[in-house]
Structure 1
């Protein structure tokens, strides 16, 4: 419980093994060629004949593996110098390649712990996502698609190993454990997070996770999803800043789809940041101050002033002021979506 896992570079085990084998073969071939070029400086004590190419590979093999039968030895000064300066280095590299896999397995836990401690010391203003099911995955995709947060600043907390594997495959930091436990959320650094997304599959778990997160992070912005509208007040009392009723939202879309399917298409387009239209937020520019939000080139839906959202037709925002933020519809281009 509470085990943190940092994202790993995307290298398959087969590719890693092939790379090590190629490195070992390169060291072996290089050693054999060096010996063969200077074959007159070596002596086969059993036969007393010059070394062949096969003998060179034999000597390279027994030398790099530190077996050293002693039947082929360097006798000239140049051959001994090459053994000291070149073949010894190749021998060390060859052994490193052979034992690197074992060392990697033995040091993996320590390396992960070191990276996790380093990340926890430095991470600030990140986003903690509780639950990586359908809702949590969609929330993460929206965050990454809107480029409002970097991948290494998204921490997924879940008890399902498969869900955590999926999150790790996206390059996200993962924590295994229940978000209803304060020690698990501390591992995720929730006390230094700027936002917490609670997307559990059960409303009771969402309430407990929200309550625990609010206790640890009094200033974080907490957004929670619930299935039933009757539980919204419980989430609000537990400390959620915003609550999304997933079942009612889906029901409204289903109802609209029967009478006005194109309306649902537009709503889906607005909720999909990768292409088409997207709802986003930006600060008011200096040239726009004093003007009406209804007369801007952008399609403005609302104005955020002092943390309060006002609709675009509200008399409170007839004139834009410094510090206001506009909630508007933006057209997503292929460059914006990363294509």
Structure 2
């Protein structure tokens, strides 16, 4: 069975459910305002069925007026009632419809648009830096790259955990959640056209496997990898890494230097 490749994502600035809640609150507030206006001026309305405009009639007329053009069973008959409908209820009606249309766009059309946009970004990735493993070392490397002037659009992060992916999105990077040792996922981030690869998977065996997979797909790609155990440094070099960094050894050498 073919495993599905995760989609490329970038930072989302607001939760869709929060946005939906805010818009629903605004719509309800506008409906309450419209009802209050009609109830205040209910004497300017005429019920062509029984001639009496009740609370239920006002509520019904509010909903019908806001959502449609009405059925003619209840109509404004005074000049003030018609002015209220023209200059107060009509803007409310239009604003609520814009809210409905905007919500439909966000919940339906925007998802299709976002998938298409991410596909275009994915296809256009070239000369980018891929960071496999966005833990402490990977995120620190990303922050340093950005500080040195790398545009966030040229940064791609791969990690298995949602927390690490969220941190990468906050930096503006494109994110792929999954196992970076998989050939399919590395192809999905266009590793063949990447400028370089930084590997910091947290485990030496996983990091070395990522290096092997990337080297197979791109024989000339500069690859930097962090290795925890000194015995694995030669293995990482043999796997195809162009730079092997042992954080423990580096820290030890720095601590041993004269103060």
For the criterion TM > 0.5, the same-fold answer is yes
Give 1:120's aligned residue. Answer: 122
The answer for the alignment partner of 2:233 in structure 1 is 232
Counterpart mapping for 1:179-194 below 5 A: 179-194=180-195
The Cα of 1:226 is off from its aligned counterpart by 0.9
Q: 1:156 to 1:22 in 2, by over 3 A?
A: same
Shift of 1:16: 5.1
Listed as ranges, the matches of 1:136-175 within 5 Å are 136-146=138-148, 148-175=149-176
- Compute the displacement of 1:54 (Å): 10
Q: How does 1:206-245 map to 2 (within 5 A)?
A: 206-245=207-246
Once the two structures are TM-superposed, the CA of residue 62 in structure 1 deviates from its matched residue by 2.6
**How far 1:33 moved relative to its partner?**
5.8
Question: 2:65, 2:221 → 1: CA distance?
Answer: 62
Indicate the residue corresponding to 1:311 in structure 2. none
Q: In structure 2, how many angstroms separate the alpha carbons of the residues matched to 1:194 and 1:45? A: 75
Work out the CA distance in 1 between the residues paired with 2:252 and 2:100: 60
After superposition, what is the alpha-carbon deviation per residue over 1:121-147, rounded to whole angstroms, capped at 9, x for unaligned?
Answer: 33321111000111111111111222x
1:17 aligns with 2:21: yes
CA contact (8 A) 1:185 1:213 kept: yes
> How far does residue 66 in structure 1 lie from its aligned partner after superposition?
4.2
Name which of structure 1's ranges 155-164 and 11-20 shifts more when overlaid on structure 2.
11-20
- Asked if 2 retains the 8 angstrom alpha-carbon contact of 1:28 and 1:57, the reply is no
Aligned pair partner of 1:4 in 7, 20, 23 = 7
| TM-align CA RMSD | 4.0
1:45 aligns with 2:48: yes
Q: CA deviation at 1:25?
A: 3.4
Report if the CA contact (8 A) 2:23-2:99 is conserved. no
Inter-partner Cα distance in structure 2 for 1:143 and 1:171: 12
Q: 1:91, CA displacement in angstroms?
A: 4.2
CA drift at 1:165: 2.2
Would the alpha carbon gap of residues 84 and 26 (structure 1) be closer, same or farther in structure 2, given more than 3 Å must change?
A: closer
1:245-264 pair list within 5 angstroms: 245-256=246-257, 260=258, 263=259
**DSSP 3-state at the match of 2:11:** coil
Quick check: 1:202 aligned with 2:209?
A: no
Specify which structure has the higher proportion of strand. Answer: 1
- Alpha-carbon contact 1:203-1:231 (below 8 Å) kept: yes
Contact 1:36 1:53 in 2 (8 A): no
- Residue 159 of structure 1 and its aligned partner are, at CA, apart by 1.4
Query: Larger RCO: Structure 1 or Structure 2 (Cα < 8 Å, ≥ 6 residues apart)?
Result: 2
Larger radius of gyration: 1
Hey, what's the Cα distance between the residues in 2 that align with 1:122 and 1:32?
54
The farther-off stretch of 129-138 and 89-98 is 89-98
Shift of 1:156: 0.9
Q: Give the match's secondary structure for 1:155.
A: strand
Give the 3 Å change call, closer, same or farther, for CA 83–187 of structure 1 in structure 2: farther
The answer to which structure has the higher helix fraction is: 2
Indicate the SS of the match to 1:140: helix
